[in-house]
Structure 1
Amino acid sequence: MALGVCAVLPIRPEVAARTAVVGAAAVVLIVGACVLRSAAAIRAAVFIGPLFGCFAVGILGGWPPAVTTVLVCVLPLGCLLFVGRRAALRPAVPWLARGSLTPEAPWLGLATVVLSGAALTAWALAVRPEPAEYLRELQRLPLWLTILGIVAFALINPVWEEMLFRGVLLTELASVWGVRAAVVLQAVLFGAAHFAGFPSGLVGMAMAGAWGFVLGVMRVRSGGILIATWCT
């Protein structure tokens, strides 16, 4: 749970000291997990550690957002595949299980997409948020690169979000505190991660938290992250 909190705290160049403190806390937690031989915490650390590190290095180092996005998607996933080869940590493999199509999945998925899309549109029209830095950077590129960047972001962002929240955190929290608590806790973390995201603010946190709860239920009911990723 503590590692999950470290993973969702926003990283900003103007508050690099806070990022350093959070990074140090994550290292202490990872070392503590290894000392205590907590398999659940070690499995989560293998994914969350590289994830946080890629974001911190890319954002604080002033790297192009596109490069940071690629690293965030490639390195944590590579670590996950490596962990899957270790017998003692092999329970990490179900993080990315596809799951099965349950009877309620089609209508629940459709309702989630329609309602969340309508809610996000209404929020954006009311708040008029500034475009994210990644999108602002795309506006300065040739049209074909802009389109490619938007498509890549639309494909990549849901994948790593689902891997982290409905894959890693929900699975490992469930192994410690049970499925019901895990669904609620990952939804709370998902909402907190959107405080400075899209949607943002307290309203955005509540919207994202409710959305994350529904996706968590779908993840549990289907036994995999495929349906939740599709809805994202």
Structure 2
Amino acid sequence: MTVNRQDIPGVTVRGRIVSVALLALGAMQPVVVGSLPFAVMVAGVAILLSWWLRSDDASEAKDAIVLVALLYIVGLVPGVGLWPIGPAIAITITAIVSWRTGRLARWREWLRVGRFDGPTWVTMGAVAAVSIVALLLWQSVFNGQLPETYRALAESVPAPVAVAGALGFAIVNGAIEDSIFFGLLLTPMLRYFPPRWAVVLTALAFGLAHFHGVPNGVVGVLLAGTWALMLGYLRTRTGGMLATYLAHVAADATIVAVLIPPLLTN
């Protein structure tokens, strides 16, 4: 009888520990971006985790290890490490490494359109509507603002450039965040955990990653984490990324519409 190594208790335990550790490190990166001590620590952890999984068929987890290490390393480069440029570079290099090691074909498990049916469209609309309302409340009730770096950048260029840049950011940001959290980090979670737990833990990491993002602070963490539950549900329900991405872009476009115009009138 052939034994699936994933069914061996030790393999499952290793996979679960590694997957959760990578989620935690992925959540911390946007908070401590540019920190050399953290980058060195994560590089060391990545080496240890890779060694621990050396004999396991854990392509998804191994790619996630490469990604997380690169997020911290690229984040050290001034300017280049700024979101979403740094993460985009990290994803690209991870894809090259995955291709060179023969693992890239496994990305088709998540990097695809997915199934679209009536309930999917309804869920997407509900997620977009909830996201828009939540962001408007965050901005009006909690005085939500862009991070200072992005505020200064928007105010330093002509209004048309600021608007075009913000819209471009919304389009690119969704693809980058979704690829990281609902692609490369969620996929190994789905291998070692029941889907519900995988989505909940990934949503928690996504929320924590927004402590200095948009929305930010404790309220931002709660909003982003709750929103990520819905995005993760779309990802697992459809088996692909497009529905998650479209709902994400709708929310980011709301951020542009609400937070950019006040900066252009000052």
Give the corresponding residue for 1:51: 71
Q: Does 1:41 align with 2:46?
A: no
Residue 85 of structure 1: how far off its partner (Å):
5.1
Structure 2 CA distance for partners of 1:80 and 1:211, relative to 1, 3 Å: same
Structure 2 CA distance for partners of 1:50 and 1:139, relative to 1, 3 Å: same
TM value normalised by structure 2? 0.75
Unaligned 5+ segments in structure 1 are none
1:125 and 1:20 mapped to 2: Cα distance? Answer: 36
Give the corresponding residue for 2:199: 183
1:64 and 1:163 mapped to 2: Cα distance? Answer: 19
Larger CA Rg, structure 1 vs 2: 2
Of residues 206, 209, 231, the one that matches 2:225 is: 209
Counterpart of 1:3 in structure 2: which amino acid? Answer: L
Q: Does 1:22 align with 2:38?
A: yes
Counterpart of 1:155 in structure 2: which amino acid? Answer: I
Q: Does 1:196 align with 2:212?
A: yes
1:129 and 1:88 mapped to 2: Cα distance? Answer: 41
Residue 82 of structure 1: how far off its partner (Å):
4.3
Structure 2 CA distance for partners of 1:8 and 1:124, relative to 1, 3 Å: same
Give the corresponding residue for 1:154: 170
Q: Which deviates the most, 138-147 or 75-84?
A: 75-84
Listed one character per residue, the Cα deviations across residues 78-101 of structure 1 (whole Å, up to 9, x for unaligned) are: 422541453356423423222121
Give the corresponding residue for 2:22: 3
Listed one character per residue, the Cα deviations across residues 110-129 of structure 1 (whole Å, up to 9, x for unaligned) are: 11111110111011111213
Higher-RCO chain (CA-CA 8 Å, sequence separation at least 6): 2
1:211 and 1:68 mapped to 2: Cα distance? Answer: 20
Q: Does 1:220 align with 2:236?
A: yes
Q: Does 1:129 align with 2:148?
A: no
**Residues 204 and 225 of structure 2 are in contact (CA less than 8 Å); yes or no, is this contact kept in structure 1?**
yes
**Residues 27 and 205 of structure 2 are in contact (CA less than 8 Å); yes or no, is this contact kept in structure 1?**
yes
TM value normalised by structure 1? 0.85
Residue identity over aligned pairs, in percent, reads 26
Residue 141 of structure 1: how far off its partner (Å):
0.9
**Residues 101 and 222 of structure 1 are in contact (CA less than 8 Å); yes or no, is this contact kept in structure 2?**
yes
**Residues 127 and 247 of structure 2 are in contact (CA less than 8 Å); yes or no, is this contact kept in structure 1?**
yes
Alignment: residue pair count: 223
* CA RMSD across the alignment: 2.3
1:176 and 1:183 mapped to 2: Cα distance? Answer: 12
Of residues 76, 84, 108, the one that matches 2:123 is: 108
Q: Secondary structure at the residue paired with 1:56?
A: coil
**Residues 159 and 229 of structure 1 are in contact (CA less than 8 Å); yes or no, is this contact kept in structure 2?**
yes
Give the corresponding residue for 2:253: none
1:198 and 1:69 mapped to 2: Cα distance? Answer: 13
Structure 2 CA distance for partners of 1:181 and 1:135, relative to 1, 3 Å: same
Listed one character per residue, the Cα deviations across residues 189-213 of structure 1 (whole Å, up to 9, x for unaligned) are: 0111122222222222121111111
Structure 2 CA distance for partners of 1:200 and 1:88, relative to 1, 3 Å: closer
2:213 and 2:173 mapped to 1: Cα distance? Answer: 12
Q: Does 1:92 align with 2:111?
A: no
**Residues 30 and 42 of structure 1 are in contact (CA less than 8 Å); yes or no, is this contact kept in structure 2?**
no
